[in-house]
Structure 1
Amino acid sequence: METGEQTRFWRATGLGGVELLQARYVEQCFAPHVHEGYVITVLEDGAQSFRHRGSEHLAPVGSMVLINPDELHNGRKAVEQGWRYRGFYPEFEHLRTVLDELGLDRGGLPSFNCSVLYDPELARRFLTLHRLLEQPTETLQQQTLWRETVLLLLQRYAKVPEAPAAGNEPQAVQRAKELLAARLSEPPSLEELAAAVNLSPFHFARIFRRATGLPPHTWLTQRRLEQARALLKEGCAPGEVAARLGFADQSHLNRQFKQSYGVAPGVYRQAHGHAGSRSRPG
């Protein structure tokens, strides 16, 4: 068991500056305070006690804590080893943008009526997103997953209505595919893609998924892997392939390639008659 208190605080610039925190607290005892924006946390280990809306609450591992703007609360450990959690601290505008893009903004402040919730699917999604935001992943993926995860949260726990079904926009989807294919190494953000086809970002993401069965970032990954196979067949070394196609590094290429094709890029390259790690000439 790790000991000591640890914190990491940063802002997700690709999400408009949403504040993020990863922390482990043992002796920390938060005095009563409020936040200007929302608090959305997921307990990864231990348990937390806190007072909120005039009642005491217990948040064990696997649970989520939801606190609306300007609501007084405190916080302390509920078990000897303390608690470890990941937190999102979005402002009102960060959530309203998601709703506005789908025509669901009815004015006013989305409000959560539960302090602690147990929703394994939602907790998993927020944890996946938070871990993704720790890495140098592309803005396109971050922005898409943020919108999908926040919408699910708001629909389940803030009485936001279901979004209208995504329509058919074949020309917009085709144009987006062309843009993504032309910029494999430096893909556009979700906002850039949406602006290019005159749609709101979230609406665009939904019609793209409906048309292709994939979110834009996953479609992009598939095109990269197709190009990777072609380059490996020609003799390009895996490291060169990763750099040319916009993978974070060779390890990133290795993981993605093996998940899709069952073998490592180097093995695939060797099977096509290219030994060693020599890069393709020219």
Structure 2
Amino acid sequence: MILFLMIIEELSGVKHEEKGLNFKNPLQFHQKFYSEDSYVRMHYHSSYEINICENLQGTVNIEGTTHDLTDVKLLFFPPDVIHSYRILKNSGTIKVWHIGLQHLDMVHHEVIDRLFRYDSYRISDNRTRMNNALELLSRIDEKNGLSRTAGILQLLNLFYNPKRKNEEEKKLNPFLHRIIGWTESSFTEQITLDDAASAVNLSRYHFSRKFKAHTGSSYMEFLMNLRLENSLYYLNRGFSVSETAGKSGFSDVSYFIRKFRSLYNQTPLQYQKKIEKESHIN
């Protein structure tokens, strides 16, 4: 069972976590503790994302490349960088910040291009850099607009580490972006493996092999995790189990309940009751 230290809006195709980001509120925060072996499906955002890891064990897959989380303290993802986690139970927490782009509208585009022209994401085991990031995040959380903008720029510069100019610029994985984008816009429908393969102009066989090679998991596992994560959003907002199932791509409510219990070790109704109880306590 995944225990949420805060009632959060899960990562999903409709980017629920980013809905609250705007010029007045450029920062969103949540943290997670995993009491069971867990898989956080592939996803990306239109915001900047900072993950601070505390004693995590497992792996993170970024744009098709897998990295061990041992000793990793800080991960930074610019917009559109695909990443997923496989986390061992009871191994620690992840603190997640999303930073909106609205404050960068006033900054010249050449400055932003310079900051992220090369090697977009960052993985760090440096505690000093982590502490610097936390200090800058607190500045972004201030009410003063100029202070926020300055804090965001300093934070971006903290992760800037250009390669030699004659090196080829790192490119995002077009296959993963295409299939994730298609799935996030289609997962509420009754899509099949053949549908997904056709969306990227591959045969079912070659699509399955390519997806597995890039992600380490099957496409249907990814689709199921996306649907179940989306269901948390509606359950958190008081939708009935049957309504939630329909809005999350499940035509059979009983099947939805079985899959939900298999992943979260509780039924959707039990999850709702727990969330309601925690909200009264808080």
Taking structure 1 as the reference length, the TM-score comes to 0.41
Q: Specify the structure having the higher radius of gyration (Cα).
A: 1
* Higher relative contact order structure (alpha carbons within 8 Å, sequence separation ≥ 6): 2
